[in-house]
Every structure is written in structure tokens, then in C-alpha cells.
């Protein structure tokens, strides 16, 4: 019997997704929600740095910017298991609506405090923690809901378009945030408030079934089952842990307020351009993947993407030019998109629906750790080595992690087809 792989089956056209009404609403809420969170994140980072620089050094101010990431991560870490179990027990649409309500309240509080002159680093950290608590429940419910709205044969394309929604919002969001912050921080926050409201309306308009099949067992048993599943599936564990440690070390984007103001000296408008850099590259790659899904050598492509991500982080760190910095950030974002696409496709294809919430919650805490703790790590290292040293240190660390994981998880490295 031949060991040759079976011939490739036809891949459904991306136009087939346009016939899925509920998926289009889901895509819309994913875009508007991501657009809003990007503006909020940029505005909070810029405002924190501006407030801190009134009476602190560059290094101390960079550390406080990193503290926003830590404040957002702590509730994600503490609530991960109950959030995943909730996504597998309750109507996922209702969970999303509750989370969006929490985000609306938090950003409105921040907007009103800024208008009335009560904004402070302490308030920004509290809001970041509340936002993290909402996102702890939002991420697994959102990830688990998407596959319920499309036929399984369309799932790889849907995942690529899901990423495209996030990445295009990540281009428009930071660029818009730079313009909005240049006018006033409260303008950025009120804009975010309106976008979260629109996202909630789109979620409420989804008519399809959003309630998972609940398996018997106590809440604690179900949470343990999710952890056990991720641990046993070494390809899944290797993929999400690679993302954790590589992005944890290579979180140079957390220092963009510092680079914009005190390294490249480009102001809030330049900050918005820098913040959009990673998403420009990621969107280009996401568009290509949406039309040309990865068919072979998925594991190798993922490792190559993470290695290039680390090298681009180093290039950004040593750049003294806005244009070179944006180019490095674009390469960084495109490389990261490759690894994200492979990881998300692997996790969602191999996970049964009744466990998607719990597995997504474990994945989200890894992602949250890589993003929010990555911001904290960058702030701490910047306090010791300065912003340039922190970026170079993180990029080199990401490359070293890639080499180590390729050795520790050979099955992930040899993963071939995303099916």
C-alpha cells in the first residue's frame, strides 16, 4: 500500500462564508470589538505614559506602562478555569453580551474621569484589571461560538477571516487612536464606548444556537477535564506554549509609547503609525491565508514564523528611523500571523465542541500571559536596560525559545496538514 498522502480535496470558496448570516454578524462584532479594544489599549498606554512623565523618568514611566499589562493579566489568570467552564455550560452569546456590558462600563468610567480631571495611573490600573476580568470570559466564549456558526468544511477559511477581522481592526484602531488621542484622551474613550455598543447589538442579532451541549459532571471536574485534554494533546500544548514564551519575551509593542516619544520623537500621530505597523504585515498575510490556506508543512511554517518574529523584534529595537521601525513591525506582525493561524486552526479542529470553551480558556490564558505579561516583562527589562535594550533582549529570547521548542516538540515541528 502506498504511503503517499491523499490528493488535496477542493477547498470551499471564501464566498461560501457570505451565505452564513450568523457568521457575518459574528465577524462584524469581532471587528468592531477588536477596533474598540485597540483604541482603548493605545489610549490607556499613551495616557499612562503622559501622566507618569509629569514627575518620573523615562525608565520609571516605561515600567508603569508595563504595569497595565500585569493589571490586565491577573484577572485573566485567576478566572481562566471558571471562564472556560462557563463558555461550555451557558449560552455563549449571552456570555459575550455580559462581557461587552462590563467593557462598556469600564471605558465609560475612564472617559468621565478623564473629562473631570480624575484620571491617574492608579485609576488606569484599576480599569485595566476590570477590562481583564471581562476579557477572561469573553475570549473562550468568542472562540467557542465561531465554529458553531459555520459548517466544519468552512472552518479553516473562517479562522483565517476571523484573524483578518482582528488584524484589519488592529490597523485602523491604532491609527485612529493616534488621531483621537492627539485631540484628547476622552475623545478616544467615548469612541470606544460607541463601538462596544455596536458590537453588543451585532451579538444580540445572532439567531443561531449558541448554547453548547453540557456534559455531566461537577464544575471542578469539567475544569480539570479541560486542563487534562490540553496536556495530553502535545501538539496543542506545544503550539500554545510556544506562543506564550515567544511573545512573552518579544513584546516590544508594549514599549511603543516610549519609542514614539523618547526614542524616535514622532509624537502621538507617529505612535499611531507605529502601533499599526504589526497589523499591516499581519493583515497582508491574513489576506493571503484567507485565499490560500496552508495545505502542507504547517508545523515548520509555524516555527519559521516565530523565528522571524524574534529577528524582526531585534531590528525594531535597534532602528532609529520611523520608516525602518514600521517596516520591522510589519514583518513582525506578518510572521506572528503565520504562527497564530496554525495554532488556532490546530486547536479548533482537534477540539470537540463540548470542550471548546475550556480549551479556549486555557489557550486564552497562555495568550493573555504572552500579551499582558509580555508588556510587564518589557516594562521591567526597560527599567533595567532601557527601551532599546529591552526590545533586543526580547527578540533574541524569542529566537532561542523557537529553537528549544523545535527540539522539545518534534511532533509539532513535523505537523503537516491542517485537517
Q: 262 burial class (0-12, 13-18, 19+ CB within 10 angstroms)? A: middle
Dig out the grid coordinates for 106 from the structure: 469600564
DSSP 348-398: HHHS-GGGHHHHHHHHHHHHHIIIIIHHHHHHHHHHHHHHHHHHHHHHHHH
Coil/strand/helix, residue 41: helix
The whole-number pLDDT of residue 32 equals: 93
Rg (CA), the chain: 20
Dig out the grid coordinates for 56 from the structure: 518620573
With DSSP H G I counted as helix, E B as strand and the rest as coil, what are the percentages for the chain, rounded to 5?
A: 85, 0, 15
Write the CB contacts of 41 (distance below 8 Å, at least 6 apart in sequence): none
The whole-number pLDDT of residue 217 equals: 57
The whole-number pLDDT of residue 83 equals: 80
The whole-number pLDDT of residue 56 equals: 85
Cα–Cα dist 397/61, whole Å:
24
Q: Over the range 63-94, which residues count as b (16 or more CB within 10 Å of their CB) and which as e?
A: bbbbbbbbbbbbbbeebbbbbbbbbbbbebbe
Q: How far is CA 255 from the centre of its chain?
A: 16
The whole-number pLDDT of residue 362 equals: 66
DSSP label of 53: T
- Per-residue confidence in pLDDT tens, the chain, 419 aa: 334 444 445 555 567 777 788 889 999 998 999 899 889 988 998 899 889 888 888 878 888 887 887 888 788 778 877 887 787 788 888 999 999 999 999 999 999 999 998 889 999 999 999 988 898 888 888 888 877 888 877 777 787 787 778 767 876 787 788 788 888 899 999 999 999 999 999 999 988 777 776 665 555 566 566 667 767 777 778 877 787 777 777 667 778 888 888 889 888 778 778 877 887 888 788 788 877 777 778 788 889 988 999 999 999 999 999 999 999 999 988 888 888 778 777 776 667 666 666 676 666 666 655 566 666 777 778 878 888 888 898 889 889 988 999 888 888 888 777 65
Q: For the chain, which domains are there?
A: 20-208+218-414 (1.20.1250.20)
The whole-number pLDDT of residue 383 equals: 79
Rounded to 5 degrees, φ, ψ at 106 are: -65, -45
pTM given for the model: 0.67
Distances in whole angstroms, Cα of residue 337 to Cα of each of 69, 197, 341, 348: 21, 28, 6, 16
Place of cell 468544511: 153
The whole-number pLDDT of residue 112 equals: 95
DSSP label of 117: T
Dig out the grid coordinates for 400 from the structure: 532561542
The whole-number pLDDT of residue 96 equals: 92
Dig out the grid coordinates for 143 from the structure: 472562540
The whole-number pLDDT of residue 88 equals: 78
The whole-number pLDDT of residue 176 equals: 83
Q: Over the range 154-186, which residues count as b (16 or more CB within 10 Å of their CB) and which as e?
A: bbbbbbbbbbbbbbbbbbbbbbbbbebbbeebb
Amino acid at each position: 500500500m502506498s504511503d503517499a498522502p491523499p490528493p488535496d480535496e477542493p477547498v470551499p470558496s471564501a464566498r461560501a462564508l457570505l451565505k452564513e448570516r450568523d457568521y457575518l454578524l459574528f465577524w462584524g462584532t469581532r471587528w468592531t470589538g477588536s477596533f474598540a479594544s485597540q483604541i482603548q489599549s493605545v489610549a490607556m498606554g499613551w495616557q499612562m505614559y503622559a501622566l507618569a512623565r509629569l514627575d518620573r523618568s523615562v525608565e520609571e514611566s516605561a515600567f508603569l506602562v508595563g504595569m497595565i499589562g500585569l493589571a490586565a493579566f491577573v484577572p485573566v489568570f485567576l478566572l481562566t478555569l471558571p471562564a472556560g467552564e462557563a463558555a461550555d455550560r451557558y449560552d455563549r452569546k449571552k456570555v459575550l453580551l455580559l462581557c461587552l456590558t462590563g467593557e462598556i462600563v469600564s471605558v465609560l468610567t475612564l472617559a468621565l474621569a478623564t473629562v473631570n480631571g480624575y484620571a491617574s495611573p492608579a485609576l488606569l490600573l484599576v480599569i485595566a484589571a476590570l477590562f481583564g476580568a471581562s476579557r477572561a470570559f469573553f475570549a473562550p466564549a468568542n472562540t467557542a461560538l465561531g465554529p458553531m456558526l459555520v459548517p466544519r468544511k468552512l472552518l479553516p477559511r473562517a479562522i483565517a477571516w476571523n484573524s483578518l477581522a482582528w488584524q484589519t481592526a488592529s490597523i485602523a484602531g491604532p491609527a485612529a487612536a493616534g488621531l483621537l488621542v492627539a485631540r484628547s484622551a476622552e475623545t478616544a474613550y467615548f469612541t470606544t464606548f460607541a463601538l462596544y455598543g455596536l458590537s453588543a447589538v451585532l451579538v444580540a442579532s445572532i439567531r443561531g444556537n449558541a448554547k453548547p451541549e453540557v456534559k455531566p459532571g461537577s464544575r471542578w471536574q469539567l475544569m480539570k477535564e479541560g486542563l487534562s485534554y490540553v496536556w495530553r494533546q502535545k501538539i496543542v500544548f506545544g503550539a500554545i506554549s510556544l506562543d506564550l514564551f515567544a511573545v512573552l519575551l518579544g513584546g516590544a509593542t508594549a514599549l511603543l509609547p516610549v519609542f514614539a516619544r523618547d526614542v524616535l520623537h514622532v509624537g502621538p500621530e507617529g505612535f499611531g503609525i507605529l502601533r499599526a505597523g504589526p497589523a499591516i504585515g499581519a493583515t497582508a498575510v491574513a489576506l493571503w491565508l484567507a485565499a490560500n490556506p496552508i495545505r502542507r508543512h504547517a508545523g515548520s511554517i509555524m516555527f519559521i514564523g516565530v523565528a522571524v518574529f524574534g529577528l524582526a523584534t531585534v531590528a525594531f529595537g535597534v532602528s532609529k528611523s520611523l520608516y525602518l521601525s514600521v517596516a520591522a513591525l510589519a514583518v513582525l506582525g506578518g510572521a506572528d500571523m503565520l504562527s497564530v493561524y496554525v495554532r488556532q486552526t490546530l486547536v479548533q479542529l482537534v477540539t470537540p465542541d463540548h470542550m471548546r470553551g475550556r480549551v479556549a480558556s486555557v489557550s486564552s490564558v497562555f495568550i493573555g500571559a504572552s500579551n499582558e505579561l509580555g508588556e510587564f516583562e518589557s516594562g521591567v527589562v526597560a527599567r533595567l536596560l532601557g527601551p532599546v535594550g529591552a526590545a533586543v533582549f526580547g527578540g533574541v529570547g524569542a529566537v532561542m525559545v523557537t529553537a528549544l521548542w523545535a527540539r522539545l516538540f518534534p511532533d509539532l515541528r513535523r505537523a503537516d496538514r491542517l485537517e
